[in-house]
Amino acid sequence: MKKIAVLGSTGSIGRNALQVLSCFPERFSVFGLSTNTNIKLLEEQIRQFKPKVVAIADEESFQKFPRSHDAEVLLGMDGLKRLCSDPQVDLVINALVGSVGLIPSLEALGAGKNLALANKESLVMAGELLIQTAKDKDVEILPIDSEHSAIKQCLLSGKKGEVKRIILTASGGPFLTKSKKDLKKITAKEALSHPTWEMGKKITIDSATLMNKGLEVIEAHWLFGIPSERIKVLIHPQSIVHSMVEFVDGSVIAQMSLPDMKLPIQYALFFPQRILSNNASLDLTKIGQLTFLEPNHKQFPCLHLAYQALELGGTAPTVLNAADEVAVEEFLANRIEFPDIQRIVEGTLREHQAKPAACLDDILNADKWAKRKAKELCAERKIKG
């Protein structure tokens, strides 16, 4: 029986992960859960999964949380760190949103835990450090991202030296066919309705700007050790082909399924095994058509910015990620316009002098600097009235 800690258990991926875990009670037990502020759902999850430990990131929510259960309640980042390094934990699922996920990822790997990683920001900010720590501790980073799960599966068709390139697919988000003028008027509500995937707010906006795909290019680079010029992005509006790998002989292997995060979660939990599940079968006759097109870089410059940050290296991807985090938050609060997101990220990157990201402190300092800079730039662009 594997003991699992689910960080961010009240978010979209966390809830899906618990659903998957609940299908295999003879294989997994839930040791720990965590939330930021959603203590109502956390209480329900405690009743259902009976974890030993829960961590609440937000101090006010921690104070308010009723102690009418047996779980030990921990507070804040220290609580998260303790939860994911607990000697009893076998595997940590990191489904936290944003840069806050980095320290728990490092902590889990450092404590010798296998890490099922949905928090792509960890790899974007500190890819080298995470991969090295996993190597040193002889543990695995198992991606919970549909594209990277797909690539992991496709890579099994050949040897690493036989890989020509990785082709990441992107749904293109809800504004694929919008003109630059239309993008200016987009509201947070419109940006939050994704055509094929149901996800949290941050990633849904990142999908609409294509920044999510940019972050995934960086994630793929670190996970699979492939340079950015051999990672290609294709728009695929149906979200059925989750990614592809092209081998040197010209063969292209694709992984397909209906868009449902439970599949990549289950794959990560059981890797390298495949386990019978009651996930719906893919009926291609119902889908009818699978289409692919080039991303429009002019319309969606965030993707290009991510490639740029990866090439700059060092602290640049951290800065890209931090600026995006701030800009998305400001957009969701109706304080800046949709196209400003890209402007803020670009402006912040332009003012940053990339340094080597040799240790956690370098990365956290760059993150802090970029968030402050991005906030300044947001204030300049603030919507009047």
For residue 364, give both structure tokens.
């956290």
Tokens of 231: 């990672």
The piece of 45-53, 145-153, 162-170, 279-287 that touches Mg ion (CB under 5 A) is 145-153
Work out the angle between the directed axes of helices 338-350 and 302-312 (0-180°, nearest 10): 20
Q: Which is nearer to Mg ion, 168 or 183 (CB)?
A: 168
Q: How far is the CB of 146 from Mg ion (least distance, A)?
A: 5
Query: What sign does the CA torsion over 57, 58, 59, 60 have?
Result: negative
Q: Count of alpha carbons within 13 Å of 261, Cβ hemisphere only?
A: 20
Nearest-approach distance from CB 265 to Mg ion, in angstroms? 12
Q: 3-state class of 180 per DSSP?
A: helix
Q: What is the dihedral of CA 184, 185, 187, 192, to 10 degrees?
A: -60
| Residue list 213-232, contact with Mg ion (CB under 5 A) | none
User: Does 145 contact Mg ion by CB under 5 A?
Assistant: yes
Instruction: Output 107 or 145, the one with its CB closest to Mg ion.
Output: 145
C-beta of 103 vs 151, nearer to Mg ion: 151
Q: What are the tokens at 234?
A: 């294709």
User: What minimum distance in Å lies between the beta carbon of 170 and Mg ion?
Assistant: 8
Burial of 233 (0-12, 13-18, 19+ CB in 10 A): buried
Stretch that binds Mg ion, among 39-47, 146-154, 335-343, 371-379 (CB under 5 A): 146-154
Are 226 and 148 in contact by the 8 Å Cβ rule? The answer is no
CB of 1 to Mg ion, least distance (A): 30
Nearer to Mg ion, 85 or 207 (CB): 207
Stretch of residues binding Mg ion (CB under 5 A), selected from 53-61, 138-146, 274-282, 375-383: 138-146
End-to-end CA distance of the chain: 57
Indicate the DSSP class of residue 160: G
Residues forming a β-bridge with 30: 4
CB of 99 or CB of 146, closer to Mg ion: 146
- The Cα 167–Cα 81 span in angstroms is 35
Question: Which listed range, 103-111, 147-155, 308-316, 364-372, lies at the site for Mg ion (CB under 5 A)?
Answer: 147-155
Helix (H) or strand (E) holding 3: strand 2-7
Q: Which is nearer to Mg ion, 206 or 346 (CB)?
A: 206
Nearer to Mg ion, 264 or 301 (CB): 264
Q: Give the shortest CB-259-to-Mg ion separation in angstroms.
A: 10
Among residues 55 and 154, whose Cβ is nearest to Mg ion? 154
**Closest distance to Mg ion from the beta carbon of 132 (Å):** 24
Closest CA to 176 of 295, 338, 289: 295
Minimum CB distance to Mg ion, residue 145 (Å): 4
Pick the piece of the chain touching Mg ion (CB under 5 A) from 67-75, 139-147, 185-193, 252-260. Answer: 139-147
Counting residues that bind Mg ion (by CB under 5 A) gives 3
Least CB distance to Mg ion at residue 200 (A): 12
- The count of other CB atoms within 10 Å of the CB of residue 188 is 15
| 330 lies in the site for Mg ion, by CB under 5 A | no
CA-CA-CA-CA dihedral for 214, 216, 219, 221, to nearest 10: -70
Q: Give the nearest distance from C-beta 44 to Mg ion in angstroms.
A: 27
State which residue, 119 or 146, has the beta carbon closest to Mg ion: 146
Report the DSSP beta bridge partners of residue 53: 32, 72
Residue nearest to Mg ion (CB): 145
Residues in contact with Mg ion by the rule CB under 5 A: 145-147
